[in-house]
Structure formats: structure tokens, C-alpha cells
A and B are shown apart, each in its own frame.
Chain A
């Protein structure tokens, strides 16, 4: 009985230690890097020849087909805008880019219907 009480107390303390406002997804689901903007999760997956952007808004995957997505990245000292193509689910696809440590990649996703803008900036580490 004493062991059960001790275990229950430990669980209670562990639960209380969680930040009171913590909620929602904050971790990558596709092996990429994550940047949070409020309750919106942006995950960027850099591959040699392609890149993928996944967007989850308040725990709900966005519908990429209803949105536009644009990256702004410093390539060779010049800022370039790269339009991404809506793909399946909440994924947007684009060409691979070289992004050494310190590169900043700004992302803007626009809902075509509501005109809501969701944005963030990744800093490559």
C-alpha cells in the first residue's frame, strides 16, 4: 500500500512539473527541423535535391492544396524567393537548396480563401 501511494505521489509530482500552458505538437514528425510561431508548427526537411515543408496549425495539419507557400532564403548573398508546390496533405515541395549553418530561411504560407498569413523564420544550425 505504501509503495502504491509513493508511486501515485511520484506520478502526481511529474504531472505537476509540466508547464501549465504546454500544449500541441512541437516536435518534428518527418526528421526535419521545426520552427514554432505561436501555435503553428513549421517543419522543414532538407534533402539533397528537394525540400519539404510541413505545416500544422493548432495541431491540425493544414490543407496544402488550399494554400500558397513561399521561402525567402539568402543564396550566395542574394535573397531569393522560392515558391513551393502544394503536395499531399500538409506538405509543400520545393527544390533542394544549399543552406550552411547560419542561413536564415523565411517562410510565408497564405490561406487562399481566408487570406490568413502564417509565417516564421528558420535559422539553420
Chain B
């Protein structure tokens, strides 16, 4: 009987700690020397090709933050990014659909109109900005990034140093956004909430790829179908390793 209770408790707990829908994000990372768009969480580099149609917009920016063409391209099992000049920033807008669930049940890709018994319905957008080159000026709020993480001040060259980030929602500071410092290597970390001015200060964890994640809910624009819009943003940047 005790074993049965333990089993039930463990099953319930596993249901809770299963990666929630909002855990997934998009970000840019290097694959075989090319820039790829990743969809996943932690070490899970999931099927971005299957989700290719969800990429609403991709843009590159030059050193003056003027937009340049950036085009996603399916290359075998991954999605690569083509630009015709070396970008300083890359950004993407990714529409992950409308999802609903009952209680703590599994999410289904339906709105409340199709699933009236749902206790939660949400529309999911994912955004990402990658810093691809040296910065001459602060990263601006980008018009197509409803939620965006920008570094405040100079990005350190060494891991272990602190860096302040500001989370912007439609260009304005987002207080209470939930931030994870290292989505790739520590995805289950307890999120830190941004202050009233939208900032949070964290220690840069990796002498390599750093992917910071922020989640912030915005109001619904279609209450019959979903309760809110869940926005997930990532900021990716790389600290260079020592010369070989």
C-alpha cells in the first residue's frame, strides 16, 4: 500500500515537473560553423524543420542596427540562416500556436472555442535575438520583438562576471518577467523576476554560448479563444574562448 502511495505521488510529481509548454524556446546557435535556428529546451535540440512554417519573420541587423535580409533555409534535419552580409544581430518571430488544457492535463493544440472545458488557453509567441558581432552601441528595442531581452552595459569577456539585462515588452520595461540565466545548461533553474524597471542582474555562466530566457504574459486579443498571450524571448551571445 505504501509503495502504491509512493508510486501515485511520484507520478503526480513527474506530471508537474515535466517540461511545461512555455519551457520551449527558439534561439540561434552554431552548427557545423553555420548559424542555425534551434527550437528546444536544455540539451534538447528539437525538430525545427517540422516547425519551419511557424517562423513568421527573421531579420538581420548591421552594425548600425539597420535591417538586412536574413532567410531561414532547411538544410537536412536543421534550419540554417542565410544572410548576404555578416550580421551584428539576428532576430526571429516564431508563432507556436494556441494551446489549451484542463487542469494539469496535457496541452492540446486547440483554442477555447474548440476545447470549451479548458481551464487554461493561451497563444504562444517565441522571440529571439542573437548577438553575432561586436557592438558599437546598445542593442535597441526591435520593432518585431514584442518581448525582448537587451543587455545593459558592456557584455563581459569572461564568465563569472555580472551582467544586467532589461526585459522589454513592446519596447517598455517588463516588470515581473520570469528570467532563466542559462536555458541550454540549466533549464530547470528557478526563474528570477525582473524588477520594476525591467532589469535583472545575473552572473554570465558560460565561456561559450549563453542563452537567457524571459517569459512574460500579455493580455489576450481574442478572449473567446485564449486567456492570454504567452511571450517567450531569448537572448543569445557567445563569450570567446582563449586563442588556441
A residues 1-55 near B (Cβ < 8 Å) are 19, 21-24, 26, 36-40
Q: Per-residue CB proximity of B219-244 to A under 8 Å, as 1/0? A: 00000000000000000000000111
Count of inter-chain pairs, beta carbons less than 8 A: 62
Q: Which secondary structure characterizes the binding site on chain B?
A: loop
Which one, A59-67, A91-99, A102-110, is touching chain B? A102-110
The residue among B82, B85, B134 with the most chain A CB atoms within 10 A of its own CB is B85
Closest residue of chain B to A57, judged by CB? B33
Closest residue of chain A to B88, judged by CB? A106
Is B157 in the interface zone, CB < 8 Å from A?
no
Known: A19-B244, A72-B62, A79-B63. A118 touches B33 (CB 8 A): yes
Is B30 in the interface zone, CB < 8 Å from A?
yes
Number of residues from A at the complex interface, CB < 8 A: 29
Tell me if A40 and B83 are in contact (CB < 8 A): no
Is B207 in the interface zone, CB < 8 Å from A?
no
Residues of chain B within 8 A of A117, CB atoms compared? 34-35, 82-83
Interfacial residues, chain A to chain B (CB-CB below 8 A)? 19, 21-24, 26, 36-40, 70, 72, 74, 79, 81, 104, 106-108, 110, 115-121, 123
24 contacts between A and B (CB under 8 A): A26-B243, A26-B244, A38-B33, A70-B86, A72-B62, A72-B85, A74-B64, A79-B63, A104-B63, A106-B63, A108-B83, A108-B85, A110-B84, A115-B75, A115-B82, A116-B33, A116-B34, A117-B34, A117-B82, A117-B83, A119-B86, A119-B132, A121-B133, A121-B134
Interfacial residues, chain B to chain A (CB-CB below 8 A)? 30, 33-35, 62-64, 66, 73, 75, 82-86, 88, 132-134, 136, 242-244
